[in-house]
Amino acid sequence: MPEVPKIAQGLVPYISPSDGPAAAEFYKTAFGATEVVPQLADDGKRYMHCSLNINGTYIFLSDSFPEYGAPFVTPQGFNLHLQVDDADFWWKRATDAGCTVSMPLEKQFWGDYYGQLKDPYGISWAIGEAPKE
């Protein structure tokens, strides 16, 4: 099994999708997640912790644990932004995998090619590509 990454500093998004193991598998397909390192909870089904590498950056996730005071809460007020070199490729892969479009991928007033998606686990994602120079 791969070793859990050692991250000394920085900002790492930590999400709690409605089904951690299924979400991690989905992120492999939709966003090319690699280095997926799950740590199972005592029940052998839910993720106590899981690290994934998406586009060169780590994201952590875990399932909800209502029995320990951490119930599932529908995500709100944020999105996970992926700045990429080929937004069309990333967009198609994500929508083909099952993400739904909440804001179409279009050229925006600030110059980026940008859109927003929602995954089947309630997490909002943005995909952006800087203008070519």
Residues 6+ apart with CB under 8 A from 108: 114
The answer, yes or no, to whether residue 35 has pLDDT greater than 70, is yes
What pLDDT was estimated at residue 8? Answer: 63
Judged against a pLDDT cut of 90, whether residue 25 lies above it is answered with yes
Tens digit of each residue's pLDDT (9 = 90 or more) over 77-115: 899 999 999 999 999 999 999 999 999 999 999 999 999
User: Please, which residues have CB within 8 angstroms of residue 72's CB and are 6 or more apart in sequence?
Assistant: 16, 18, 64, 66
Q: What is the largest CA-CA distance in the chain?
A: 53
CATH topology of 14-66 equal to that of 80-129? no
- Is 75 in contact with 64 (CB distance < 8 Å)? no
CATH class, range 80-129: alpha beta
pLDDT > 70? residue 4:
no
* Domain limits, the chain: 14-66, 80-129
Please give the mean pLDDT across all residues of the chain: 91
Tell if the pTM clears 0.85, that is, is over it. yes
Query: CATH 3.10.180.10: does it fit domain 14-66?
Result: yes
> Is the pLDDT assigned to residue 1 strictly greater than 60?
no
So what's the pLDDT on residue 11? 83
